[in-house]
Chain A
Amino acid sequence: MKYAGIARVKAGLKSFGLPRIVILLFILFLNMMLFVLDLPVALTFSQCLVRVGINIVLSLAMAPCIMAGTGMNFALPLGIECGLVAGMISLQFNMTGIAGIAAAMLISIPFSVAAGYAYSLLVNRVKGSEMMVSTYVGFSVVALMCIAWLILPFSHPSIVWPIGKGLRTTITLDAWYDRALNNLWALKLWGVDVPVGLFLVAGLFCLAMWLFMRSKAGLMMKAAGANPKYALANGIKVDSMRALGTILSTVLGGVGIIIYAQGFGFYQLYNAPLMMAFPAISAVLIGGASPKKISILNIVLGTVMFQTMLAVAVPVANSMIPEGNLSEVVRTIVSNGVILYALSRMQSGSKE
Chain B
Amino acid sequence: MAQQKLLHFRNIRKCFSSNTVLNGVDFSIEPGEIVALVGENGAGKSTLMNILFGMSVIRDSGGFEGDIEFDGKSIRISTPLDAMSLGIGMVHQEFMLLPGFSVARNIKLNRENLSPTLISGLAGRNYRVLDLDSIVREARASLDTLGIDIDPLDTVEHLAVGHMQFVEIAREFNKDNLKLLVLDEPTAVLTESEAERFLACIKTMAESGIAIIFISHRLDEVMRLANRVVILRDGQMVFDENIQSTSKMQIAELMVGRKLDSRSLVNADRIFDDADVVLEIEHLQVDMPGERTRDICLKVRRGEILGIGGLAGHGKAGISNAVFGMYPAKGSIAYEGEPLDFGMEGEALHKGMAFVSEDRKGVGLLLDESIVFNAVFTEMLVHDSYLRELGPFSLFSMSKAENRVKTMIKELDIRCASPRQSVGSLSGGNQQKVCMARALITQPKILFVSEPTRGIDIGAKQILLNYLVKINREQGITIVMTSSELNELRSVCDRIAIVTAGKVEGILKPEAPNVDFALLMSGEGVKR
Instruction: Answer yes or no: are A and B bound together in one complex.
Output: yes
- Interface set of A (CB-CB < 8 Å, partner B): 211-212, 214-217, 219-220, 223, 226-227, 229-230, 232-237, 293
User: Would you call B395 an interface residue if the criterion is a C-beta within 8 Å of the partner chain's C-beta atoms?
Assistant: yes
- A211/B381 in contact, CB under 8 A: no
List 26 interface pairs A-B (beta carbons < 8 Å), by A numbering: A211-B390, A215-B396, A216-B380, A216-B381, A216-B387, A216-B395, A219-B377, A219-B380, A219-B396, A223-B366, A226-B366, A227-B362, A227-B366, A230-B366, A233-B324, A233-B355, A233-B363, A233-B364, A234-B346, A234-B377, A235-B345, A235-B346, A235-B349, A235-B381, A236-B345, A236-B381
Q: Assuming A211-B390, A226-B369, A233-B363, what are 5 further A-B pairs, CB within 8 angstroms?
A: A216-B380, A223-B366, A229-B362, A232-B345, A234-B381
- A233/B382 in contact, CB under 8 A: no
- A211/B326 in contact, CB under 8 A: no
Q: Name the interface residues of B343-358: CB closer than 8 Å to any CB of A.
A: 345-350, 355, 357
Task: List the B side residues contacting A211 at CB < 8 Å.
Answer: 390, 393, 395
Closest Cβ of chain B to A291, distance in Å, is 15
User: Would you call B384 an interface residue if the criterion is a C-beta within 8 Å of the partner chain's C-beta atoms?
Assistant: yes
Task: List the A side residues contacting B326 at CB < 8 Å.
Answer: 229, 232-233
* Shortest Cβ distance from A215 into B: residue: B393
Task: List the B side residues contacting A230 at CB < 8 Å.
Answer: 362-366
Task: List the B side residues contacting A226 at CB < 8 Å.
Answer: 366, 368-369
- B368/A214 in contact, CB under 8 A: no
Chain B interface bracket (under 10, 10 to 19, 20 to 34, 35 or more): 20 to 34
* Shortest Cβ distance from A240 into B: residue: B345
Closest Cβ of chain B to A331, distance in Å, is 34
User: Would you call B476 an interface residue if the criterion is a C-beta within 8 Å of the partner chain's C-beta atoms?
Assistant: no
Closest Cβ of chain B to A267, distance in Å, is 30
- A215/B346 in contact, CB under 8 A: no
Question: How far is A145 from B24 in the complex, measured between Cα atoms in Å?
Answer: 74
User: Would you call B413 an interface residue if the criterion is a C-beta within 8 Å of the partner chain's C-beta atoms?
Assistant: no
- A237/B345 in contact, CB under 8 A: yes
Task: List the B side residues contacting A233 at CB < 8 Å.
Answer: 324, 326, 355, 357, 363-364
A-B contact count (CB 8 A): 68
Closest Cβ of chain B to A343, distance in Å, is 20
* Shortest Cβ distance from B346 into A: residue: A235
- A229/B346 in contact, CB under 8 A: no
User: Would you call B378 an interface residue if the criterion is a C-beta within 8 Å of the partner chain's C-beta atoms?
Assistant: yes
Closest Cβ of chain A to B402, distance in Å, is 15
> Which of A230, A233, A235, A237 has the most chain B CB within a 10 Å cutoff?
A233
Question: How far is A293 from B393 in the complex, measured between Cα atoms in Å?
Answer: 21
Closest Cβ of chain B to A53, distance in Å, is 24
Closest Cβ of chain B to A216, distance in Å, is 5
| Contact flag A214-B366 (CB < 8 Å), given A219-B380, A235-B349 | no
Closest Cβ of chain A to B391, distance in Å, is 8
> Contact string, B365-380, partner A, CB cutoff 8 A, digits 1/0?
1101100000001101
Task: List the A side residues contacting B363 at CB < 8 Å.
Answer: 227, 229-230, 233
User: Would you call B394 an interface residue if the criterion is a C-beta within 8 Å of the partner chain's C-beta atoms?
Assistant: yes
Task: List the A side residues contacting B348 at CB < 8 Å.
Answer: 235
- A234/B395 in contact, CB under 8 A: no
- B382/A235 in contact, CB under 8 A: yes
Task: List the A side residues contacting B380 at CB < 8 Å.
Answer: 216, 219
* Shortest Cβ distance from A208 into B: residue: B393
- A216/B346 in contact, CB under 8 A: no
User: Would you call B154 an interface residue if the criterion is a C-beta within 8 Å of the partner chain's C-beta atoms?
Assistant: no
User: Would you call B325 an interface residue if the criterion is a C-beta within 8 Å of the partner chain's C-beta atoms?
Assistant: yes
Question: How far is A211 from B394 in the complex, measured between Cα atoms in Å?
Answer: 9
- A216/B382 in contact, CB under 8 A: no
Closest Cβ of chain A to B335, distance in Å, is 15
Within 8 Å by CB of B377, from A217, A223, A237, lies: A223
Closest Cβ of chain B to A5, distance in Å, is 21
Question: How far is A219 from B394 in the complex, measured between Cα atoms in Å?
Answer: 11
Closest Cβ of chain A to B413, distance in Å, is 24
Question: How far is A236 from B393 in the complex, measured between Cα atoms in Å?
Answer: 18
User: Would you call B336 an interface residue if the criterion is a C-beta within 8 Å of the partner chain's C-beta atoms?
Assistant: no
> Which of A217, A223, A235 has the most chain B CB within a 10 Å cutoff?
A235
User: Would you call B157 an interface residue if the criterion is a C-beta within 8 Å of the partner chain's C-beta atoms?
Assistant: no
* Shortest Cβ distance from A211 into B: residue: B393
Task: List the A side residues contacting B384 at CB < 8 Å.
Answer: 216
Task: List the A side residues contacting B387 at CB < 8 Å.
Answer: 216
| Contact flag A216-B366 (CB < 8 Å), given A233-B357, A234-B378, A236-B345 | no
